[in-house]
Amino acid sequence: MEDCLFCKIADGRIPGKIVYEDKDVMAFEDIHPTAPHHILFIPKRHIASMADITPEDGYLLGKLFAAAAQVARERGLAAEEQGYRFVTNVGPHAGQSVFHLHFHLLGGRPFAWPPG
């Protein structure tokens, strides 16, 4: 999509601190981290939000989750005494501000549940 911020990061028009990349998915550091580790995982193909996912996107989602689990392991977040959160926001009540599907990988500190 011409005007989408995360499409621009995905195709290199805007720089990002890339953490992981393959032909389908990408991960990069969030520009305003809210935890010691705050990484965004996106499909390279434009999908506006979780609300637009179809069962045919299952393989893509599997790759996103597996990539996030790999990065979490590499950063020590999967250690027994640690842990992490992997979340996506949909719409105004959840605070979605970028309309290209992304999951936040958050780690390095405890997180409240339920979220505020």
Active site residues: 102
- Rule CB under 6 A: say whether 112 interacts with ligand 5GP: no
Contact status: 1 vs Zn ion (CB under 5 A)? yes
**Residue selected from 7, 18, 21, 89 as contacting ligand 5GP according to rule CB under 6 A:** 89
Question: Which residue of 38, 44, 46, 63 would you call a contact of Zn ion, by CB under 5 A?
Answer: 46
User: Within a 10 A sphere around the Cβ of 49, how many other Cβ atoms?
Assistant: 17
- Minimum distance between the CB of residue 80 and ligand 5GP, rounded to whole angstroms? 28
CA-to-CA distance for 30 and 25, rounded, in angstroms?
Answer: 16
Phi/psi at 51 (5° precision): -65, -20
Q: Kindly identify the residues of this chain, within the stretch 29-48, that bind ligand 5GP according to CB under 6 A.
A: 29-32, 40
Question: 107 vs 26, 35, 40, 75, CA distance in Å?
Answer: 18, 6, 12, 9
Closest to ligand 5GP by CB, 34 or 70:
34
Give the strand order in the sheet containing 103-107. 18-21, 25-29, 37-43, 103-107, 84-87
Interface contacts to Zn ion, rule CB under 5 A: 1, 4, 6-7, 46, 100
